[in-house]
Amino acid sequence: MIRTFFVLLYIGVGALLFTPVCLLLLLLRLISPKAASKLGQPFAYYAAFRPIMLLSGARLKVEGRENIPKEPVLFAGNHRSMYDILAGYLAIPALHSTGFISKHEIRHVPFLSWWMRILNCKFLNRKDPKEGLKTIQSAIADVKVGFSMFIMPEGTRNRGEGVMPFKAGSLKIAERTGCPVVPVAMIGTDDILEKHYPKIRASRVTVIIGEPIPTAELSRDEKVALPGVVRDRIVEMLAAHGVSCPEPEEAKA
């Protein structure tokens, strides 16, 4: 429990120390969301994400960073842990402005939700189709002006083996903007916390960034098939690193 204590202590102390910076960036965001993100992401990268991973004992290895294009993209990854966001951000260059698509409930969490807004994250309400559509439309508009987005198309954390089927329409951001989809495979993030909650334990975490999948000239049928194509690519990346990915029960039926 020592690691858990120090991680929680750092988060608590950081919430106090970094509040002035957070408030200044929130004010800047009213004028220029892109400028706030450009300043906020490196700050969060070095002052929050990296220290928390180090205190958690997570040894992060990133493969394929050279596959990230300079232009805006939609990152799509498997989802196993709350640490996926930290690992995802640390795998992406600190100056590559990227927002995560997160669950709606997090927007009510003080301080965390403030920083997520600075980093241009979106809060997706899957229970309300109209609100969900507005969120996706907002993300589409942001990609068009230069932001990348990161989504977990399984829709929720997977506590089983392999990768769950991707939600239909989960890659609309890429389909509507024509930006490439960059598949991201995460290994070991759930070894930090989820497998022995509430204890935090040291773990090896590997993030593999795959080659971009073009979407600019997809046919209608290819757009429908895109979530399955991206999921299959992630499964291949996991399998190449020795991670078992059994066929989902839905597919067997």
State yes or no: pLDDT of 152 exceeds 50.
Answer: yes
123-136 pLDDT tens trace: 998 888 888 899 99
218-243 pLDDT tens trace: 999 999 999 999 999 999 999 999 99
State yes or no: pLDDT of 186 exceeds 60.
Answer: yes
75-88 pLDDT tens trace: 999 999 999 999 99
- Whole-prediction pTM: 0.93
Confidence (pLDDT) at 105: 86
State yes or no: pLDDT of 1 exceeds 60.
Answer: yes
Confidence (pLDDT) at 112: 86
Domain residues of the chain, as ranges?
2-245
Residue 103 confidence class, pLDDT cut points 50, 70, 90? confident
Confidence (pLDDT) at 161: 81
Supply the mean pLDDT for the chain: 92
Confidence (pLDDT) at 252: 46
Confidence (pLDDT) at 246: 81
Confidence (pLDDT) at 108: 82
Mean pLDDT value of segment 202-215? 97
21-74 pLDDT tens trace: 999 999 999 999 989 999 999 999 999 999 999 999 999 999 999 999 999 999
User: What is the percentage of the chain residues whose pLDDT exceeds 90?
Assistant: 79
- Per CATH, the number for 2-245 is 3.40.1130.10
CA dihedral over 103, 105, 111, 117, signed as positive or negative: positive
Q: How many of the other CB atoms lie within 10 Å of CB of 115?
A: 21
